[in-house]
Structure 1
Amino acid sequence: MAQKEKLQCLKDFHKDTLKPSPGKSPGTRPEDEAEGKHPQREKWASKLDFVLSVAGGFVGLGNVWRFPYLCYKNGGGAFLIPYFIFLFGGGLPVFFLEVALGQFTSEGGITCWEKLCPIFTGIGYASIVIVSLLNIYYIVILAWGLYYLFQCFQPELPWAKCKQPWNTDRCIEDTYRKNKTLWVAANASNFTSPVTEFWEHNVLGITSGIEDIGPVKWDLALCLLLVWVICFFCIWKGVKSTGKVVYITATFPFVMLIVLLIRGVTLPGASEGIKFYLYPDLARLKDPEVWIDAGTQIFFSYAICLGAMTSLGSYNKYKYNCYRDCLLLGALNSGTSFVSGFAIFSVLGFMAQEQGVDIADVAESGPGLAFIAYPKAVTMMPFPTLWAILFFIMLLLLGLDSQFVEVEGQITSLVDLYPSFLRKGYRREVFIAIICCISYLLGLTMVTKGGMYVFQLFDYYAASGVCLLWVAFFECIAVAWVYGVDNFYDAVEDMIGYRPNPWMKWSWSVITPLLCMGCFIFSLVRYKPLTYNKVYQYPDWAVGIGWTLALASMICIPMVVVIKIIRSDGPLIERIKAVAAPVRGGASSRPADHRGPKDLAYPLDPNGNKGMLMKAPTHTIVETMM
């Protein structure tokens, strides 16, 4: 009895110090508190909720508008070689690591590292900085998409013809371009298309540079506000609301993609576009840029190193087979990217044939594809309004679920830092509203007339491949070499009932760190200052702001390592060992109904014999066995 009381006292004492996520994720209701109910961390209502949430989180705009262009740009089918090397050597292993880590600890993206490997808690803070900056600018794309969708509900698509209020004297309609002689003359005279002028003059109202930021475009500001409101209501009740919304947002885009694919491959000229997309040019593999593009695309498209996958995994039941589903989800993600290329390049092939130009002249990436190339293509199809509406609905849903899943990951990580405060009553909902409002206000800088320059600055630096590769490298070092890769494999086996393929272990230990570091170094060596449309050069002060955004996340990891060591006692080596050791119990969140008498006395606990730096935990922290 005395032992029980002692344990209870220790649990109460360490409740806030350790932050083991004792509360209900979306907030404990006042009536539950009044009844004295013990709050529990919420779990997914079904396995499908988790699968669709992850699918919605990482199958996003990059699959549709970035992968196909990179494939064409970097040697067609030959690009798949470095892509699959980075997929199996980096993307899938890190994706599984993050999901398993969240499931094992039942913690968000910051506190999971505090329990598993305290010296590398900076990984969690770095991820939160990246995802916070990402959430500010990524949603601006959805505001643009929503604006286009509203513009579709007119008798005629406003970007189909010239003579609109925003058009200039240099605007030439696409019917005129079919005459190749006149089209060459128009190009020589620097004429533009109606869709380009709609994008630059109507949607963006773009200024001459970032020095001239201009006023806020209130039509875009209202679209941005509407998207943030939708995002808030998708996540305000935690996994209860997120798990249900994704049934629509994660499935409907696939239906739209299939419809657009069928339409695309039946268009004249589609075969030439697909050939252009996949024709292999093996000579391109000699260029390091191809490998850098493959690596960064993998890390972007799998939404790793953002804390979101860890947060989603933390709502899994302890015995859930996350390994199986991570492999299936990986196949879905990369398969979607590959199929999207057929949908996009079949339409670009049709557009090139209609205009009598080479496909290289119409191939675009990023916003150029979504808001110039594809809208131009639909104006050449029968029933252009229908195809435009379907395309922008698909674009919005692809981006929306990625956005609210990333915000959910951000919120979960921050709430887990202060569970006793943010899980009382409806404080979590209020906290989400505050985060959304702050992000919206910061995002207003990107819906000004010079907002595109700010958007590109964030996109190029804040959530760049360099930042993600840096975080992924330290994630693997922390798990494989400090905590101990065999220890983590023991933890995974305890959860799913068997040991995963040894390939994962070798990837975490050797392959992924080497790939990440190699790609990281080459990215810095091949660094080019940011430009807009390959013409406008950003001033030095803007580039300085960009690097500040990038370093804001990267510096978190070494900074926290130094702080942890300074705050410890003893000789340097002993300090490092002390802050590298996991919490008592090995950070496991294994619930009581999965524990036997021996487990209760000796919970899953790596004693430091397998990790490089670990020793027996010297700082005792008692979990609330949930």
Structure 2
Amino acid sequence: MQKSIAYIIPQGFYDDDRNAFHFRFAKPPEDVTYEDEIDGGSTEDEADDDDYLKPRRQHWSNKLQFVLACIGYSVGLGSIWRFPYLCYKSGGAVFLIPYAIIMVFIGGPMLYMELAVGQFTGRGPIGALGHLCPLFKGTGLGSVVISFLLSTYYSVIIAYGVYYFFTSFRAKIPWEGCGHTWNTRYCWMPNSHTNQSKPRYTQSPAEEFYDRKVLQISSGIEDFLGMRWDLVACLIFAWILVYFAIWKSIKSSAKVRYFTATFPFVIIVILLIKSLTLEGADRGMRYFWRPKFELLLDAKVWVNAASQTFNSMGCAFGSMICFASYNKYNNNILQDTIAVWLVNGITSLVVGVFAFATIGNIATEQGTSIEDVIDDGPGLIFVVYPQAMAKMPASQLWAVFFFFMLICLALNSQFAIVEVVVTSIQDGFPGWIKKHLMGHEILVLIICIVSLLCGIPCVTKGGIYFFQLIDHYAATISIMYLAFFEVIAITWFYGAFKLCRNVKTMTGRHPGMYIKFCWLIATPLMIFALWVFLIIDYEPPTYNNGRYHYPAWAIAIGWVIASLSIFCIPIYMMVVFLNAEGSSFMEKLKNSIRSDLLDKCPECSQMDCECVLKENEASPMLVVPKPQEIIKGSTRLYENAQNPQGDGSVQKQDEDPFPSERNDSMTPSEYDNLHEGRNETK
């Protein structure tokens, strides 16, 4: 059997030997084969220098790998770090009301939309948005920029976790008591002051270990000089873990996720049970479940709920589009959406219970209030949780388990956001990468090194201030802006009903009315309203529960960080519009927003036809000759190309080149013979 190379494009592939275009919902001919499968289905063909012809995409070996990748990202740092603090900040259990509403009307529909877009186009966020609506391709670029920014400081959390993990292998964990070289006279332990409340201006051993030993924190962002070499070493180690987990793309990261995405759930359940048995846990539960309904009128509570939804579900970060692009074309994305949505919501609730039970225990032992225990930023997971574990029997064992779980959760998030950057660059410049970088592994290495260097400021003595600054402007302000434009680009400009037809093409089922309502009305309007509230109620970032205020120049840097992703949209809009075909403004605008994906069946010119709905049972459709040259500047992919007969005429690609000789009973081989004979005659 002759082996031929097939180049995959969003809705089909070119078969070089047949010189024809196969639409993606059609079954390929039996004699069209690919390179031998690697690791249960992952294949990769030669890349073409032109972005229109991309190498065949790898696929997940099985559905479980994809689901674990999505769950691993959603149940990452956002659940164990952000959610408990936002619950405390937003009124306890009352926060669950806006959080649930936003999960229903924004989180779930956006997740479904992104999975559909990624699976249908087979591209990362830049390529996917560029194909659906070229004018909004900058939205995908903005998502990649945010993911890169997150990768620079999420790795710092891994570095902290690695530091604590190895420190836990001691006869006595160092944050268990005072008397160390880093402790001050303000170090205070409950056991040494029986029947006393915690004095003012004192710190627990866990607080002093975190501030004075781990961070060696300076007085402010102005005083950031001085490297924390221990943390630098841990940061390098963290990036080594990330590199070797994703250096073979999904072939390597999928195997790692079998452990990193499942082991944390075991530890979370164990810690939940243990925390509920601690003294004072009921006090924390009462604080958590005592709602403050008046806070529902505070716009900040709703903004916090939206921020948590985006960060936990991965919406608008590009990760879910990236993951879905490796799916098989007929994968049931509705089941995946429901699974990820439910697991994320349940895990957030479980982590909230565990966190407040632990906080209640600490507040009871110290004789202080709940508010005095909770710390903002990473302090919740590196001060509060370790402090509670220090009081448990076999505290070293609990600490090792907890920080190993934290490393796994952080790695899941890091894998996802780095893969977004890698996939987007790989999609955009496949030929250049293969020619100059000698493959995927070198590209991943370069990205990891650059991200490592960009994260160095976060492991200086003033690094925690940089950490909070990037997190505030990149993970909250920018993400809502990008989410709004992503939704309207896909559901308004490309078309919600067209996307529904695409979903039906892939799965055989139309999305329901609830999804259509959310895509068209609820989701974009709610995101826009929340973003407006965020801007109106804008407050500069602070640290240490409002005790430290950033200087003006640092806030300016924060807005520059936010602008890196925000300005991607208007800048790219101008570039696409100026390069669009047409002599008038309206012609250029129309060509700028027109999708380059074919939305009609080339066999019968219908949108919902039996050819599409029969899924893989449709006979091969060899109706389009391969173009010899793609005219640059065209906004519709494969629409205009030089006539393969060489007579110089231009022919639309969705037309049969030999309509008079073609009949429905003709086999692909007969049609090919006719095609070749006609060429010889010419």
- Same fold? TM cut 0.5: yes
State, as a whole percentage, how many aligned pairs show the same letter. Answer: 40
Secondary structure class of the residue paired with 1:66: helix
C-alpha distance after superposition, 1:281-311 (max 9, x if no partner) = 2121111111111111111111111111111
Query: Kindly tell me: are residues 427 and 471 of structure 1, through their superposed partners in 2, closer, same or farther at Cα, counting changes over 3 Å?
Result: same
Structure 2: how far apart are the matches of 1:5 and 1:247? Answer: 38
Match of 1:80 in 2: 96
Query: Kindly tell me: are residues 326 and 390 of structure 1, through their superposed partners in 2, closer, same or farther at Cα, counting changes over 3 Å?
Result: same
Structure 2: how far apart are the matches of 1:459 and 1:525? Answer: 19
Structure 1: how far apart are the matches of 2:470 and 2:87? Answer: 24
CA contact (8 A) 2:21 2:622 kept: no
Match 1:138 to one of 154, 172, 191: 154
Match of 2:669 in 1: none
Give yes or no for the alignment of 1:89 onto 2:105: yes
Task: Give the CA deviation at 1:334.
Answer: 1.0
Give yes or no for the alignment of 1:232 onto 2:232: no
Task: Give the CA deviation at 1:206.
Answer: 1.0
> Any gaps of 5 or more consecutive residues in structure 2?
1-13, 23-33, 47-53, 602-611, 626-634, 642-652, 655-682
Instruction: Please report the RMSD computed on the Cα atoms of aligned residues, expressed in angstroms.
Output: 2.9
C-alpha distance after superposition, 1:429-480 (max 9, x if no partner) = 001001000111111111111111111111111x232211111111111111
Match 1:573 to one of 583, 586, 597: 586
Secondary structure class of the residue paired with 1:110: helix
Secondary structure class of the residue paired with 1:416: helix
Query: Kindly tell me: are residues 179 and 599 of structure 1, through their superposed partners in 2, closer, same or farther at Cα, counting changes over 3 Å?
Result: farther
* Worse-matched range after superposition: 45-54 or 367-376: 367-376
CA contact (8 A) 2:68 2:261 kept: yes
How is 1:180-329 mapped onto 2 (pairs within 5 angstroms)? Answer: 180=196, 183=198, 186-187=199-200, 190-329=201-340
Structure 2: how far apart are the matches of 1:476 and 1:470? Answer: 10
Instruction: Provide TM-score, normalisation by structure 1.
Output: 0.88
Structure 2: how far apart are the matches of 1:522 and 1:379? Answer: 41
Task: Give the CA deviation at 1:482.
Answer: 0.9
CA contact (8 A) 1:171 1:192 kept: yes
Give yes or no for the alignment of 1:555 onto 2:535: no
State the AA in 2 paired with 1:145.
G
Give yes or no for the alignment of 1:110 onto 2:123: no
Task: Give the CA deviation at 1:592.
Answer: 13
Secondary structure class of the residue paired with 1:271: helix
Structure 2: how far apart are the matches of 1:332 and 1:556? Answer: 33
Give yes or no for the alignment of 1:473 onto 2:484: yes
Structure 2: how far apart are the matches of 1:199 and 1:169? Answer: 16
Match of 1:152 in 2: 168
Structure with greater Cα Rg: 2
Query: Kindly tell me: are residues 115 and 177 of structure 1, through their superposed partners in 2, closer, same or farther at Cα, counting changes over 3 Å?
Result: farther
C-alpha distance after superposition, 1:296-336 (max 9, x if no partner) = 11111111111111110000000000111111110001110
Match 1:174 to one of 190, 195, 208: 190
Structure 2: how far apart are the matches of 1:516 and 1:159? Answer: 43
How is 1:5-84 mapped onto 2 (pairs within 5 angstroms)? Answer: 8=19, 40-84=56-100
CA contact (8 A) 1:415 1:423 kept: no
CA contact (8 A) 2:501 2:510 kept: yes
Match of 1:389 in 2: 400
Structure 1: how far apart are the matches of 2:349 and 2:498? Answer: 36
Query: Kindly tell me: are residues 250 and 616 of structure 1, through their superposed partners in 2, closer, same or farther at Cα, counting changes over 3 Å?
Result: closer
Match of 1:612 in 2: none
Match of 1:14 in 2: none
Structure 1: how far apart are the matches of 2:424 and 2:638? Answer: 26
> Any gaps of 5 or more consecutive residues in structure 1?
12-21, 31-37, 604-614
Match of 1:594 in 2: 616
Give yes or no for the alignment of 1:433 onto 2:449: no
Match of 1:583 in 2: 596
C-alpha distance after superposition, 1:182-234 (max 9, x if no partner) = x3xx31xx222221111111101111111221221111001000010000011
Match of 1:334 in 2: 345
Match of 1:611 in 2: none
CA contact (8 A) 1:171 1:193 kept: yes
Structure 2: how far apart are the matches of 1:103 and 1:483? Answer: 16
Structure 1: how far apart are the matches of 2:194 and 2:18? Answer: 81
Structure 1: how far apart are the matches of 2:268 and 2:134? Answer: 43
Instruction: Provide TM-score, normalisation by structure 2.
Output: 0.81
CA contact (8 A) 1:27 1:428 kept: no
CA contact (8 A) 1:93 1:507 kept: yes
Secondary structure class of the residue paired with 2:57: coil
Match of 2:142 in 1: 126
Name the structure, 1 or 2, with higher relative contact order (CA <8 Å, separation 6+). 1
Task: Give the CA deviation at 1:278.
Answer: 1.7
Query: Kindly tell me: are residues 196 and 485 of structure 1, through their superposed partners in 2, closer, same or farther at Cα, counting changes over 3 Å?
Result: same
State the AA in 2 paired with 1:313.
A
Match of 1:16 in 2: none
